Structure 1
């Protein structure tokens, strides 16, 4: 008789992975905690032991999705190299990450747009993290004389807002246009020239 492999422990991460798959299959309107539990082969009470409510589960999934982008960009922001190149690379990486999410899995992207609308605090935290990364790059640039910036945090908010067309999900349809990359490159050049020390 062959031994059966033990069932992996039920962790928050496993629940979030299953929830993402359930959302992809059923969409946010029809996905339930019972569907998630069924996908995991556990009772819905087991899921509730990790996430007290359906809303808490949906918020955790949203945060996990947003955190993936933040984590990708964090390494660029923290790198020890020319701040001008870091800023350009960071902006491109943000645009590319959002564009890939929208293009590679449009159903899941649409689902997350619904979840993002439900989870304002997760979105605010995400934006704060991203503008904090930008501020770090701008602070480093001001410290080395690459950028003329007196308030890196304020400048970071302005840069983030100015590039919104290339990372705000409301513009996702525009990201696939043939001229999108050229438009982005022109904007990045303009921003870098404006921030650069004379």
Structure 2
């Protein structure tokens, strides 16, 4: 067995993702995770008190990758309309890549996301906050006309208006002909609305 001193929460989450990919959420167990790590299941429980806590943490880690990948669009120096277009395009690309590149893991995380609605709610809040930051920059630069008190609601509206291109419930549509043109049309519509708000 591996030395438990070197066992970290991050290593456990990496192993859990591997186990979920291999067995799926219905059959994956903490014992399977421990076996991959070469430790006892008690060592895993020292980091995550329950199987539910472990599944929540791995879901949050998976969703965090999207937030981190989008952060550069929030902090970039390009005009806000370009950054918002880039942010929405990157979100669509990330979600499409996850759905098409690793369908087993995507299906597994669909189940886990269903179990962890609070994690999903926090994830969506982070995404909406990122949109709001871009909108605020655009407002300060005179690109967007949304009044400052309406920025949070407008950011949420942008998120919902583009739902078809980031909500995994629509993943089957992401490889259909015409989806890229539909995405571009929605983004163009959103930007026109923001400029005239």
TM tier, shorter chain? over 0.9
Between 1:146-155 and 1:42-51, the stretch displaced more is 146-155
Distance 1:59 1:104 in 2: 22
Q: Is the 8 A contact 1:77 1:136 kept in 2?
A: yes
Distance 2:180 2:66 in 1: 19
Q: Is the 8 A contact 1:146 1:197 kept in 2?
A: no
Q: Aligned runs of 1:120-159 on 2, under 5 Å?
A: 120-150=117-147, 151-159=150-158
Distance 1:197 1:24 in 2: 46
Residue in structure 2 matched with residue 69 of structure 1 by the alignment: 66
CA shift digits 1:83-110 (9 cap, x unpaired) = 0000000000000000000000000000
- Among 35, 38, 41, the alignment partner of 1:38 is 35
Residue in structure 1 matched with residue 92 of structure 2 by the alignment: 95
Give the CA deviation at 1:79: 1.1
Distance 1:29 1:76 in 2: 37
- Which runs of 5 or more residues in structure 1 are unaligned? none
Residue in structure 1 matched with residue 81 of structure 2 by the alignment: 84
Give secondary structure in 2 for the equivalent of 1:196.
helix
Residue in structure 2 matched with residue 177 of structure 1 by the alignment: 176
Matched, 1:196 2:177: no
Superposed CA RMSD: 1.5
Structure 1 or 2: larger helix share? 2
Distance 2:74 2:99 in 1: 23
Distance 2:3 2:131 in 1: 45
Give the CA deviation at 1:171: 0.3
CA shift digits 1:40-75 (9 cap, x unpaired) = 000000000000000000000000000000000011
With normalisation by structure 2, the TM-score equals 0.95
- Among 45, 51, 54, the alignment partner of 2:51 is 54
Q: Is the 8 A contact 2:4 2:39 kept in 1?
A: no
Task: Report the count of equivalent residues.
Answer: 194
- Which runs of 5 or more residues in structure 2 are unaligned? none
Q: After the TM superposition, which parts of structure 1 deviate over 6 Å for at least 4 consecutive aligned residues?
A: 5-8
Give the CA deviation at 1:7: 8.4
Residue in structure 1 matched with residue 114 of structure 2 by the alignment: 117
Between 1:100-109 and 1:70-79, the stretch displaced more is 70-79
With normalisation by structure 1, the TM-score equals 0.95
